[in-house]
Amino acid sequence: MKTAIKICGLRRQEDIDCVNEARPDFAGFVIHVAKSPRNVTADMLAQLSGRLSADIVPVGVFVNEPPETIAMFAGRGLIRAAQLHGQEDDNYIRRLRQMTDIFLIQAISVTGTDSVKMARQSPADAVLFDCGSGGTGKTFDWHLLDGVRHLEKPFFIAGGIGVNNMEAAIRRFCPFAVDLSSSVETDGFKDKAKISEAVALLRSINNEAKER
């Protein structure tokens, strides 16, 4: 199985140009999260998503956003997936599912050995394992995800993933996708060379796995 790659935290037109050239599978936008330095407004999302190549899936990253707002963005075609990073519970996800059929990803903070069990119980289409609020560049204890290779649903691995440990993460977990943000930045801004290097490495890892 090929592993996909998501570049998260895009907020400038230059960022979109970079990913359009590198061609990751997913592009993440942190929406209405004022405390995040990567936050974008609805107007910014419309401009950035509209500039994104059609073969890259735009993902809205939300923290306790009203489901009606997420459904509105999806209905306008601005996002094709939603990543939920707050305290959204099962009822919230089911309610959102009634409003939209986009791909729903629930973020799970890996703090104990029950993370895989929590992922298995999630009603979301996929889960994302991270060390906390996201975009911190910190890596969680990978030993806490022992057994995740047997998870029945797609999962993303985030939290300090970069070119230095991407191959190790893929070999260990066989994830549906890896999620990168701060590792492809320089001085807090997305770096074209780092994005290109990360995507190229991912493609190389996939090609090597295919040839085995």
Cβ partners under 8 Å of residue 63, min gap 6: 32, 33, 85, 86
User: 8, 18, 25, 179: which one is catalytic?
Assistant: 8
Gap between the Cα atoms of 53 and 152, Å rounded: 30
CA distance 95 to 202: 35
The CA distance from 84 to 109, in Å, is 11
Closest to 100 (Cα-Cα) out of 52, 66, 133: 66
Residue 8 catalytic? yes
174 is catalytic: no
Which residue out of 15, 18, 25, 130 is catalytically annotated?
A: 130
Distance (Å, rounded) from C-alpha 167 to C-alpha 202?
8
Residue 58 pairs with which residues in a beta bridge?
A: 27
Query: Mapping DSSP to helix (H, G, I), strand (E, B) and coil, where does residue 54 land?
Result: coil
Alpha carbon separation from 23 to 63, 85, 113, 120 (Å, rounded): 26, 25, 34, 30
Catalytic residue list: 8, 130
